[in-house]
């Protein structure tokens, strides 16, 4: 399975987008356990049969949710930076979370990860989303001459994703978000210096 990130998937209708946004809202604000075809149909003011016209199977709905989330991230980043992002820009983009006004990422992603424990298709989809994320970090690290790009990419990805839980809105450490961002930028600078030193050994 692969995602077409070249455009905004012109084949998707406004009605389908509305349905997916309703599904995302259910997951984020009611919890993934409340997500069902009937719940999405009810929130979308559709009969179940009408919803199934757009998404015949549960798997179709889950894939559409994952596609929508990754498209929103990709397009927002593309518009923000008008091209390729460097490592620092990716870090700032994720920590600033400009999408929080479009999708409630701080509430959504913990629920999506919980879904991976009970929905094999969501586990596969999330793994593919994060594989793209990982590959982008690894590519930038390789370009910068990192000595262990795979491991460093995993460390950065783990750190950045952890911020969703620990410094998001209404979390215990929300007020430390700016300091975490400052530390993270220093960490990347130190990591780059480490890579340079190792290459010169």
Domain-wise residue ranges, the chain: 14-200
Q: What are phi and psi of 83, to 5 degrees?
A: 145, -155
Are the CB atoms for 57 and 121 separated by under 8 Å?
no
| Average pLDDT value for residue range 54-73 | 88
Q: CATH homologous superfamily of domain 14-200? A: Tetracycline Repressor, domain 2 (1.10.357.10)
Distance of CA 146 to the CA centre of its chain: 24
Question: Mean pLDDT of all residues in the chain?
Answer: 83
Neighbours of 181 (CB within 10 A): 17
Report, as an integer, the average pLDDT of 1-24.
68
Mean pLDDT score, 4-22: 70
Q: How far apart are CA 176 and CA 122, in angstroms?
A: 32
- Calculate mean pLDDT across residues 135-158: 88
How many CA atoms are closer than 13 Å to the CA of 126, on its beta-carbon side?
Answer: 17
Copy the structure tokens of residue 20.
């997916």
At 77, the pLDDT band (50, 70, 90 cuts) reads: low
The Cα–Cα gap between 165 and 49 comes to 37
pLDDT tier at 168, thresholds 50, 70, 90: confident
13-25: string of b/e by CB count within 10 Å (b at 16+)?
A: eeeeeebbbbbbb
């Amino acid at each position: 399975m692969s995602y077409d990130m070249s455009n905004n998937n012109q084949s998707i209708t406004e009605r389908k987008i509305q349905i997916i946004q309703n599904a995302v809202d259910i997951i984020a604000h009611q919890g993934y356990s409340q997500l069902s075809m009937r719940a999405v149909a009810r929130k979308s003011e559709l009969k179940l049969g009408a919803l199934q016209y757009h998404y015949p199977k549960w798997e179709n709905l889950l894939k559409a949710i994952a596609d929508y989330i990754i498209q929103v991230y990709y397009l927002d980043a593309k518009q923000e930076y008008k091209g390729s992002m460097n490592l620092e820009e990716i870090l700032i983009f994720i920590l600033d979370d400009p999408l929080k006004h479009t999708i409630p990422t701080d509430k959504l992603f913990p629920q999506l990860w919980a879904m991976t424990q009970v929905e094999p298709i969501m586990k596969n989809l999330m793994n593919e989303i994060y594989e793209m994320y990982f590959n982008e970090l690894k590519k930038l690290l390789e370009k910068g001459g990192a000595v262990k790009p795979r491991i460093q990419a995993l460390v950065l990805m783990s750190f950045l994703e952890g911020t969703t839980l620990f410094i998001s809105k209404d979390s215990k450490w929300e007020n430390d978000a700016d300091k975490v961002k400052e530390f993270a930028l220093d960490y990347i600078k130190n990591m780059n210096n480490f890579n340079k030193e190792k290459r010169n050994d």
